[in-house]
Structure 1
Amino acid sequence: MLEKYLDIQPEVAQALANNQPVVALESTIISHGMPFPRNVETALLVENTIREQGAVPATIAIIEGRLKVGLTEEQITYLGKAGPAVTKVSRRDIPFVVAGKKDGATTVAATMILANMAGIKIFATGGIGGVHRGAQQTMDISADLQELANTDVAVICAGAKSILDLALTREYLETQGVPVIGYQTDSLPAFYTRESEHSIDYRLDTPDQIALALKAKWEMNLNGGAVIANPIPVEYAMPTKAITNAVDTALAEADEQGIFGKESTPFLLARVCELTGGNSLDSNIQLVLNNARLGAQIAIKYSQL
């Protein structure tokens, strides 16, 4: 039945059939995360980084109503040029974008769903969504967290985006039974910064250890994903005070302008980039590349088990 909706790129399909390592990649980072042409350049660089490690990249999106697992360079360029005009797609949006034969850029949640449909277990991204600041009043909680609770895909990320309420995000993941694994770290990274005051559940120091833990989890039918928190490289990490000030300013502006819901994250990330003189965009790109490398290494080890 899935074949009616799902297209798996031949290279990706062959790799999956031969139990070769595949790493899923999201497309919201292309359409909504960065300006053109930097977004396309980064997406292709991330794919090449995964190939260099010995794995196959599978960038995921919806094109003309078809679920696409693995994109061509032309399709990536198309999404990058279209930018925010492309629908930002989470779980609730998928059937409507498909039925309407529209284009959609997949969030972390939607990418997990499509990756799971195709049989891909490892997914590398920038940062996950989470509980937004002020959620006690707004109930603004990313669908990424529920997807992590239910879908068997591991997400390699640089922690939760620093625009979020990290304490509540951490609490939500714990309540949902989602393990937070720190890769060579004892604290939850905060996207642009390597550390935060929040702990992780387990520190694992090698891709082998992570792959073994994931294999055990899913073979025992302990459903749901896992967060593999991979700190941004030291040389690209930003000063905590500079990021905190920029985030606080951006949040105040979003509140003044009445920006909330699915529009808030793109606005806040873009505004933080402006307030830091573009430094946050450079850091964002480097942390995505860092996650792609680790994702490929974990996928390789997982495929060998």
Structure 2
Amino acid sequence: MILLHWSDEVRAARDADAPIVALESTIITHGMPYPQNLQTARAVEDAVRANGAVPATIAVLDGVLHIGLSDAQLDALAQTPDARKLSRADLAACIATGGTGATTVSATMIAAAHAGIAVFATGGIGGVHKGAETTFDISADLQELAQTPVTVVCAGAKAILDLPKTFEVLETLGVPVIAYGQDVLPAFWSTRSDLGAPLRMDRAAQIAAAHRVRGALGLPGGQLVANPIPTTDQISTEIMAPLIAQATAEAEAAGITGKAVTPYLLDRLYTLTDGRSLKANIALVLNNARLGAEIACCLSVRQG
């Protein structure tokens, strides 16, 4: 049996059947520079609390899978430059070898399901990378959504990806993709893409009900909730598209592949947008934390 270490706050919530929202940790170690990463992690946890739920930031520390981190652990992780980036493929190996690593979307879903947490809020999911028809570079997040029963709240797939192919794969895998409050899918930094939403829901209670019904039907996998970034914080697709194309071309020229691609592109876009991409990223994560907490409250035992 895998040893889970519960933070005091999360353990108390679990014992009281209080709503809990899982949070990933690669946004801390690989998504933002220090100290913005630590400030953002704390702000996201506070946003979950302010909306009635308990945050559970997930990470592997010295071979132990932590469900919820203390403030000191959060601080230490934010300053760990060599933390592994963990997905389904290497989560178990990191635990078995006593390593320290931050969980991606797929690994966070696995840990959340193992811990009995139904809702996970993140920034954006991984997906089909541009040029995947030759590189076959497709994130494990998509397969995870098809098999692990967690509702994932995000701002859509990261806009650095091939969005049409990403959502086509999700359709093939039978993953419900729900746009929150609009008829088109968001594009991470932008509120709207040119892709129509397969499903639309306008209330957290509807999303929670759909989660319950999937469980009652015995359907495998989770739900993807695409929650648009607030319009006041977005960067339009007209601005971002050419910058993403430039950063992608630079990554290809530098021979950057695999897990290194996303951190490289995010860092390059931070430079190309004079920091605006990071500010938008923080805003969308906070927005997703708020919605995730609302959904978790609707699912909680105490609220029926």
Q: Same fold (TM over 0.5)?
A: yes
Hey, which bits of structure 1, 4+ residues long, moved more than 6 A?
Answer: none
Say which is worse superposed, 216-225 or 104-113, in terms of deviation: 216-225
Secondary structure of residue in 2 paired with 1:284 = helix
Aligned to 2:292: 295
Secondary structure of residue in 1 paired with 2:17 = coil
Q: How many angstroms apart in 1 are the aligned matches of 2:280 and 2:25?
A: 18
Aligned to 1:266: 263
**Aligned residue among 54, 57, 74 for 2:55:** 57
Report the CA distance between 1:15 and its aligned residue: 1.5
**Aligned residue among 127, 134, 138 for 1:130:** 127
Report the CA distance between 1:43 and its aligned residue: 0.1
CA contact (8 A) 1:156 1:294 kept: yes
CA contact (8 A) 1:26 1:111 kept: yes
Report the CA distance between 1:202 and its aligned residue: 1.2
Note if 1:163 corresponds to 2:199. no
Aligned to 1:32: 30
Report the CA distance between 1:18 and its aligned residue: 2.3
TM-score by length of 1: 0.97
AA aligned to 1:262 is: K
Q: How many angstroms apart in 2 are the aligned matches of 1:75 and 1:9?
A: 10
**Aligned residue among 232, 238, 241 for 1:241:** 238
Aligned to 1:117: 114
Could you list the runs of 5+ residues in structure 2 that have no partner in the other structure?
none
Aligned to 1:213: 210
Aligned to 2:103: 106
TM-score by length of 2: 0.98
Secondary structure of residue in 2 paired with 1:91 = coil
Secondary structure of residue in 2 paired with 1:123 = strand
Alignment deviations for residues 165-210 of structure 1 (CA, whole Å, 9 cap, x no partner) = 0000000000000000111011111100011111222111011111
Q: How many angstroms apart in 2 are the aligned matches of 1:218 and 1:194?
A: 30
Q: How many angstroms apart in 2 are the aligned matches of 1:225 and 1:139?
A: 24
Q: How many angstroms apart in 2 are the aligned matches of 1:77 and 1:172?
A: 37
Secondary structure of residue in 2 paired with 1:58 = strand
Aligned to 1:154: 151
Aligned to 1:69: 67
Q: For residues 81-96 of structure 1, what are the structure 2 equivalents within 5 Å?
A: 81-83=79-81, 85-96=82-93
Q: How many residues align?
A: 302
Report the CA distance between 1:239 and its aligned residue: 2.0
